[in-house]
Amino acid sequence: MTKEFCHLPTALNMLQLVSSGFVGMWLNAAGVSVPPAAPAQAVTWQGMSWLTPATPVEPTVETKIAQYLQTLKTQGLDPQQQAVWLRTDSNLLIDRNGTIPVSAASLTKTATSLAAITTWGLDKRFETIVSANGKIEGGTLTGDLIVRGGGDPLFVWEDAIALAQSLNKLGINHVSGNLIVVDKFHMNYKADPQKAGELLKQAFTGINLPPALLATELKDVNIVKLPTAPTDSKTTKLPQVKIAGKVIVSSEPPAVITPLIRHQSLPLVDIVRQMNIYSNNEIAQILADSVGGAEQVMKIVSTTANFPPAEIQLINGSGLGVQNRLSPRAVSQIFRTLHQTLQPLNLNLADIFPVAGAEYIGTLKDRNLPVGTTIKTGTLNEVSALAGVLPTRDRGLVWFVIVNKGTQIAKLRQQQDTLLQSLQTEWGRVTPTPLVVTKHDRAPAYFGDPDRNIAIAPTSR
């Protein structure tokens, strides 16, 4: 369950203006000493340019980073294969291998997030259309049931059961023919339409799917259920739609069909949040494929976040495989671009990424990060990565990326957490967490919401 921060009416809430040029003026007025920003330097590639701020002198922070890298060296790790990038909105603070593409594991999902949001917008809902090609009489559809997918990456057991219930309301309890699956239909994170169709038939048949089975399935894919539906919308008996025939995958639906139900997915903002909280590889891959594949993700992200294309090299959307490489600067730019994209929509990074101290699930389990830090983790056999934004009193929002190459993953995570804690101690903690990195109160979304099944055909006779 998400723990929301309360917000007292204090001047510190004005830190929501950190992305504007007024923050330095405000901090100085508040008696906080802020070093003058170093002049920006223009960098040009392929005829385009953007401003890369010069690095101000932060002796204490430089010492902390040097000690951190030295500690890694004493553990047998090569400092030249470790990357650290720290910056504010106006100044680059630390650059250790920051522009070199490195294996960043699930930090790749930040790129997938930006590509998906740029392509569709946060309100995007993927639609699954259920149709029939026969008559419905006496509770039986004499013909086939056709399910045409629209790329929904988060259609799960509860959604299938709710869909069966909606079909029951249309007077369908039995199907004499087959279940025909068309186009991009996914279920329980299975992209193979044959497997997804078999799962859907299992749910429709209602083979007494117990809550324990649901919990086990969800646990296996490293995700948990969203908040439950209101009590009055629950049923005590699982609905059933018994299908006599087989599951058939087809490239096209039958020539003559009658649409019955339009199922809408969760909004994209909720899908992306679930993907990032649990670092779900299947959701990430489905989204990346729907955008157009790894090449299209790279093109969209490097253009939108304005960094050299050479700093992003992807083979998929999940980050599985050391061939997925991003520079720390690119990851930082992706976070900052998402931040700028979300704010005009009255949302922020905390609405699509986990926040330390606000929730204790998914990839935040067993981490000891500074409260209010919005993060994305990444892990492979020899990679431990952490990126996001750290709210501070003296430097406003500090964007950070840490990528370690080594096999002692648990120890590397602990050292990353300790480093961020020491940086927050150096620059001061902000209480309460600034509004610009605090999750908004929104109507809860949940799996199996019957309101996302829209009837588009009359009930049976």
The string of DSSP letters for 35-86 reads PPPPPEEEEEETTEEEEEEPPPP-HHHHHHHHHHHHHHHHTT--GGG-EEEE
Residue 403 has pLDDT above 80, yes or no: yes
* pTM of model > 0.85: no
At 20-32, the pLDDT tens digits run: 333 343 334 434 3
Residue 442 has pLDDT above 50, yes or no: yes
Rg (CA), the chain: 25
Highest mean pLDDT among 160-164, 220-224, 320-324: 320-324
Highest mean pLDDT among 53-67, 322-336, 349-363: 322-336
Cβ-based neighbours of 326, under 8 Å, separated by 6 or more: 101, 102, 104, 107, 108, 111, 311, 312, 313, 314
pLDDT score at 41: 41
pLDDT score at 314: 98
pLDDT score at 36: 42
Average pLDDT over residues 77-101: 96
For the chain, give percent helix, strand, coil, nearest 5.
40, 20, 40
At 262-291, the pLDDT tens digits run: 999 999 999 999 999 999 999 999 999 999
pLDDT score at 406: 96
The rounded percent of the chain whose pLDDT value lies above 70 is 80
Average pLDDT over residues 300-318: 98
Of 58 and 183, more confident: 183
pLDDT score at 458: 59
Residue 230 has pLDDT above 50, yes or no: no
At 118-136, the pLDDT tens digits run: 999 999 999 999 999 999 9
pLDDT score at 56: 66
CA distances from 251 to 1, 130, 255, 289 (A): 41, 15, 12, 18
